[in-house]
Amino acid sequence: MTLRALIFDVDGTLAETEELHRRAFNDTFAAEGVAWHWDRDEYRELLKTTGGKERMLAFAAREAIPFDAEAAARLHKIKTARYADLVDQGGLQLRLGIAELIDKARAQGLKLAIATTTSPQNVDRLCHSCWGRAADEVFDVIAAGDQVARKKPAPDVYQLALQRLGLSAEDTIAFEDTANGVRSARAAGIRVVVTPSMYSGSEDFTGADWILPTLSRANWTADLADLLPAA
């Protein structure tokens, strides 16, 4: 078995983005006259539903609030623009170890991919903010939630990433921060490294192959160095 690619989730894995997403949702609700406000505890619970539009629909259904897919799509478009504004203000930094791991993987000839429920626009914004480059200059493949029929924990987005990479699951390792992400990657047959984020630390990561506090070299060298091609 030869490792040929690393596949990364985005929100919570590459960077602690969820607090900016929460703020963007709340700013959008206030601007559009929607009487919702999600505090951190509420948002932690809502994150169990993957996808921003789906999250709003789940909240409305739970609270018995009339709200349809068209309204969700309209608000989500506004929220995505607001999130981009917040990112452009310098609100993101890569999580510890991400830059070094990606640099090492690239230097050793590994492919790099994204498998995310967020939008390609959000991936691109993050890459411009954190790397100063477009997403397709950092990653070889970007597979996003709206490009597949089912979002995580279904395996669809990882299967799409594998298809675009032209690789089998055995050739890759996934990097995630949530239980839904672990289930998604494992359902696609991919080994998974988990680095819990600020919103996912209490989740059950059963099925993960590695659970690390961060991807700093001190944490991943012993477990992953044997899987990376030799220098």
Catalytic residues: 9, 11
User: Helix or strand or coil: residue 50?
Assistant: coil
Q: At 199, list the tokens.
A: 């919103």
Residue 200: which residues within 8 A CB-CB, separation 6 or more?
A: 12, 47, 177, 178, 179
In the block, tokens 């899987």 appear at: 227
12: left (phi over 0), alpha (psi -120 to 50) or beta: left
Which has the closest alpha carbon to 145: 85, 80, 91?
80
Bridge partners (DSSP) of residue 210 are 193
d(CA 193, CA 212): 7
* End-to-end Cα distance, the chain: 18
